[in-house]
């Protein structure tokens, strides 16, 4: 799939199957500057909302994707920033629902759900994923690094209000960062708060791709497994290896670029995704790197490709 500015993928996901991504904000336009973010640092965390791109332009791309025979199991508002910062994200969800029967997903950190208008529009999504990785003001600030004029209490109450009257399927992601929120007391506190939300699914995650803060390391699998039992329902530990698409996809450099800008990957992962020889994908990545369109990141002896610094 090529020639799209606001759509990316479809990307195989163990949580969502084949998912088409819709990106509504410029790269790293986010409320948070999370230490673990795979997309890199947020230069200026903000909760000021705007229409970063015309809703009509996004829906025109959806129309073209559908007309070209696009197939996906879900359509997900996600990408390189926080989708609820776009004031028209609800109109995009409405527009997708009017055009097809593919279920919609809102991947959000949940930081803006204290705003009634954001809660109202977020309810349109069939699935809504929110994040909860701190348990008080200090831990939330260390991990998520929000703007100074937001508070943990305000954000937490917004997520609670949304969970209380959301008719769709609520997912909660808890991101474990060793040394910050993986101690038994911290995990007990987080689990106690998350369990009150009544989520359909809870996901425990950790740094599997190069994080914004290079000192962040992944939590051991045993820590994740022990923590999972504290949550109700029992938390799932998403597997990292993506599913492979059926058959080979064209070697489209815009597809490669759009993917790694939002989901850093290795050449081997991209080759599996596209059903292409790894050498061909590596050659395209090398060209994109020389043009400054992607960045090579070396971590633990492994080469990743992600957004430019």
CA dihedral 231, 193, 79, 215 (to 10 degrees): -80
pLDDT of residue 244: 46
pLDDT of residue 246: 44
pLDDT of residue 2: 59
pLDDT of residue 101: 96
pLDDT of residue 243: 39
- Specify the long-range contacts of residues 272-279, CB closer than 8 Å, at least 24 apart: 272/242, 272/244, 273/11, 273/12, 273/242, 273/244, 273/245, 273/249, 274/245, 274/248, 274/249, 274/250, 275/244, 275/245, 275/247, 275/248, 275/249, 276/248, 276/249, 276/251
Q: Please write the tens of the pLDDT for every residue from 36-47.
A: 998 889 999 999
Between 169 and 292, whose confidence is greater? 169
Looking at 190-194, 205-209, 221-225, which range is the least confident one? 205-209
- What CATH number was assigned to the domain covering residues 253-309? 1.10.10.10
Q: Please write the tens of the pLDDT for every residue from 252-292.
A: 677 777 777 777 778 777 777 776 777 888 888 888 888 88
pLDDT of residue 282: 82
DSSP 275: T
Most confident of 113-127, 205-219, 283-297: 113-127
Mean pLDDT of all residues belonging to the chain: 89
Residue 49 has pLDDT above 90, yes or no: yes
- CATH top class, domain 7-237: alpha beta
pTM: 0.82
pLDDT of residue 214: 87
pLDDT of residue 295: 81
User: What span, in angstroms and rounded, lies between the C-alpha atoms of 242 and 203?
Assistant: 16
CATH 3.20.20.70 residue ranges for the chain: 7-237
CATH 1.10.10.10 residue ranges for the chain: 253-309
Residue 106 has pLDDT above 80, yes or no: yes
Burial class (CB in 10 A: 0-12, 13-18, 19+), 309: exposed
Tell me the Cα Rg of the chain. Answer: 19
């Amino acid at each position: 799939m090529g020639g799209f500015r606001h759509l990316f993928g479809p990307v195989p996901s163990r949580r969502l199957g084949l998912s088409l991504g819709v990106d509504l904000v410029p790269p790293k336009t986010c409320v948070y500057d999370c230490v673990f973010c795979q997309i890199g640092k947020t230069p200026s965390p903000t909760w000021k909302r705007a229409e970063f791109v015309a809703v009509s332009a996004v829906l025109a791309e959806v129309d073209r994707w559908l007309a070209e025979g696009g197939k996906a199991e879900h359509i997900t508002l996600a990408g390189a920033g926080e989708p609820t910062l776009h004031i028209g994200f609800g109109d995009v969800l409405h527009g997708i629902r009017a055009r097809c029967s593919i279920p919609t997903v809102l991947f959000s950190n949940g930081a803006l759900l204290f705003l009634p208008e954001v809660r109202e529009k977020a309810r349109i999504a069939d699935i809504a994923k929110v994040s909860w990785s701190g348990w008080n003001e200090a831990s939330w600030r260390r991990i998520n690094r929000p703007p100074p004029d937001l508070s943990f209490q305000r954000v937490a109450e917004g997520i609670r209000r949304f969970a209380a009257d959301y008719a769709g399927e609520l997912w909660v992601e808890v991101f474990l960062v060793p040394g910050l929120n993986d101690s038994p007391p911290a995990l007990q506190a987080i689990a106690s708060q998350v369990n009150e939300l009544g989520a359909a699914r809870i996901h425990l995650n950790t740094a599997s791709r190069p994080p914004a803060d290079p000192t962040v390391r992944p939590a051991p699998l045993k820590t994740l497994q022990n923590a999972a039992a504290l949550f109700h329902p029992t938390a799932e530990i998403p597997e990292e290896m993506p599913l492979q698409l059926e058959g080979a996809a064209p070697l489209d450099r815009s597809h490669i670029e759009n993917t790694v800008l939002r989901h850093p990957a290795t050449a081997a992962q991209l080759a599996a995704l596209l059903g292409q020889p790894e050498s061909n994908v590596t050659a395209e990545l090398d060209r994109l790197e020389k043009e400054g369109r992607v960045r090579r990141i070396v971590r633990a002896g492994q080469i990743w490709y992600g957004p430019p610094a």
